[in-house]
Amino acid sequence: MRCPHCGNIDDKVLESRTLANGDAVRRRRECTVCGYRFTSYERIEEKPFMVIKRDGRREPFDRNKIEVGLERAIQKRPVSRMDIERLVNEIEDQSVISAGLDREVATNIIGEMALEKLGHLDRVAYIRFASVCRHFENLDEFIQEIKRLGEKSDKKRGKEVG
């Protein structure tokens, strides 16, 4: 740390104290050349978690966008506010894990996570969300997705799919 008095870069730490619930460290330092005492603060600098859009653009992760999308999908469905909050938290946590050290995750991966969670919660909301997430362009795509959802449900219940 450079001494603010003489500019020397040699110092010794006299005291360290944790601040802000462990989010920062305050250090009292003393310059080894001129003896001037000063304080420094250390915080972890987190790289922003980024989302890669379909067109290649990158933007900071915004959990509010997921929440709005899920709310649209569950509109007029018997799903509680707590369920939505839980889903958003789970999707955010999984997204951070998927992003890894690069701190980047593609929107389609986030969309698939949301679909998986909605599939367990409400099948109508799942189809609504899938229609936007997967860009359905015609009725056949809706029907195919409904069939896939039905097959998943049948497998879960142990029925033979035919």
pLDDT tens string 3-34: 999 999 999 999 999 886 777 899 999 999 99
Cβ partners under 8 Å of residue 15, min gap 6 = 27, 28
- The total number of structural domains in the chain stands at 2
Whether 108 has a pLDDT exceeding 80, the answer reads yes
Q: Is the pLDDT of residue 124 over 60?
A: yes
Whether residue 160 has pLDDT greater than 60: no
Mean pLDDT for the stretch of residues 80-86: 88
The verdict on 78 and 138 lying in the same domain is yes
- Reading the block at residue 69, the tokens are 């999308």
pLDDT at 153 exceeding the cut of 70: no
Phi and psi at residue 15, in whole multiples of 5°? -155, 140
Q: What is the extent of the structural domain holding 34? A: 11-43
The answer to whether residue 160 is domain-embedded is no
Residues 139 and 64 both lie in one domain: yes
How far is Cα 154 from Cα 147, in angstroms, rounded to an integer?
Answer: 10
For residues 20 and 72, state if they share a domain: no
Residues contacting residue 16 through CB under 8 Å, at least 6 positions apart: 25, 26, 27, 28
Instruction: Mark whether 85 and 132 lie in a shared domain.
Output: yes
151 and 71 within one domain: yes
Compare 40 and 151 and report the one with higher pLDDT: 40
At residue 96, the pLDDT reads 86
Residue 161 falls inside a structural domain: no
Residue 149: pLDDT above 50?
yes
Q: Which spans in the chain are helix H?
A: 63-74, 81-99, 107-121, 123-133, 139-157
Q: Is the pLDDT of residue 162 over 50?
A: no
State the pLDDT confidence band at 114, using cuts at 50, 70 and 90: very high
The CA R_g of the chain, rounded to the nearest whole Å, is 25
Mean per-residue pLDDT, 55-80: 92
Same domain, 54 and 120: yes
How does the average pLDDT of the chain come out, rounded?
A: 86
Do both 92 and 15 map to the same domain?
no
pLDDT band with cut points at 50, 70 and 90 for residue 141: confident
User: Is the same domain home to 36 and 98?
Assistant: no
For residues 37 and 66, membership in a common domain is answered with: no
**Same-domain status, 83 and 121:** yes
